[in-house]
């Protein structure tokens, strides 16, 4: 049985989920999206994802033709139609069908679709033992050019960095700012721990305000782990006691080697594992129910 896709108000079979070749999301990357997780029959942090979607759409003057409640119901409906209790949802809003020109005024109605499926970014062994990553030459887009707090459909900056990681045989790449500060990875936020202090790059530098990133900062406060957003360089990465990545797709994964330098003891660290444990406990009990009891 094929996937059911939500497309502009209807659930359609995957092979019939079609949009126009004149859609500005396809032609220009003009739109916003969210990656969302479901755990144990619940959609995790749905409200936060919808808030970010609508904030990004507002920033690019894209009016979503559905209320937050309606689009949230569309996500739930799509997950339910695909009989999922655990999975990954991609919620996309494009500028819609226009013509070959740039002008968004030529796009009278946005396109909205939801895909509910499975995703695996890294093999299980990496989650158990930690991963090796590298920094790459491609720097993060300047915030003054395109604010990366907008989770837009134009991910070419990140894709170019991912290509560089692939060519080097690495699973993930760290992207720096034009001044050499650590910003984030191609699809994940990054954290380091030094002397018991948890640090992550600030969003004003160009880091996406990730939903999982926010959960980790909440859990750190609950566990009384000192945390802060702070500028740091590769020097701080190499000399960190622990390092891990977060993202809706990646969830949480430890980093044990960066650019050939071993991080800490070369295994997932104590505080990282403590935060991971708390995160997984949270996913077991929190979220918007998919199936009515």
Distance CA(11)–CA(16), nearest Å, equals 10
Distance CA(102)–CA(265), nearest Å, equals 52
Distance CA(74)–CA(7), nearest Å, equals 9
Residue 80 CB-half CA count within 13 A: 12
Strands 131-135 and 251-258 come out as parallel
Structure tokens at 260: 């050939």
* Number of Cβ atoms within 10 Å of the Cβ of 129: 13
CB within 8 Å of 223: residues ≥ 6 apart: 274, 275, 278
CB within 8 Å of 9: residues ≥ 6 apart: 112
* Number of Cβ atoms within 10 Å of the Cβ of 218: 14
The answer to whether 151 is a known catalytic residue is: yes
Among residues 4, 97, 140, 151, the one annotated as catalytic is: 151
Structure tokens at 109: 């109605």
SS3 letters for 209-232? CCHHHHHHHHHHHHCCCCEEECCC
Active site residues: 151
């Amino acid at each position: 049985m094929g996937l059911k896709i939500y497309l502009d108000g209807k659930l359609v079979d995957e092979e019939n989920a079609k949009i126009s070749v004149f859609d500005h999301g396809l032609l220009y990357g003009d739109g916003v999206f969210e990656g969302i997780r479901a755990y144990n029959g619940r959609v995790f942090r749905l409200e936060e994802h919808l808030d970010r979607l609508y904030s990004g759409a507002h920033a690019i003057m894209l009016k979503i033709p559905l209320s937050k409640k309606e689009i949230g119901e569309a996500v739930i409906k799509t997950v339910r139609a695909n009989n999922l209790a655990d999975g990954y949802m991609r919620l996309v809003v494009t500028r819609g069908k226009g013509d070959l020109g740039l002008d968004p005024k030529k796009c009278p109605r946005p396109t909205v679709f939801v895909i509910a499926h499975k995703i695996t970014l890294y093999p299980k062994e990496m989650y158990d033992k930690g991963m090796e990553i590298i920094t790459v030459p491609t720097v993060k887009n300047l915030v003054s050019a395109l604010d990366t707090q907008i989770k837009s459909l134009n991910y070419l900056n990140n894709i170019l960095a991912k290509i560089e990681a692939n060519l080097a045989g690495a699973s993930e790449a760290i992207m720096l700012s034009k001044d050499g500060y650590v910003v984030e990875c191609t699809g994940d936020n990054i954290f380091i721990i030094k002397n018991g202090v948890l640090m992550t790059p600030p969003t004003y530098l160009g880091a996406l305000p990730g939903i999982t990133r926010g959960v980790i900062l909440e859990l750190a406060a609950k566990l009384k782990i000192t945390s802060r957003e702070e500028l740091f360089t590769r020097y701080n990465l190499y000399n960190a006691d622990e390092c891990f990545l977060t993202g809706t797709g990646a969830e949480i994964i430890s980093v044990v080697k960066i650019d050939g330098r071993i991080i800490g003891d070369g295994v997932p660290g104590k505080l990282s594992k403590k935060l991971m444990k708390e995160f997984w406990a949270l996913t077991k009990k929190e979220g918007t129910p998919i199936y009515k009891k």
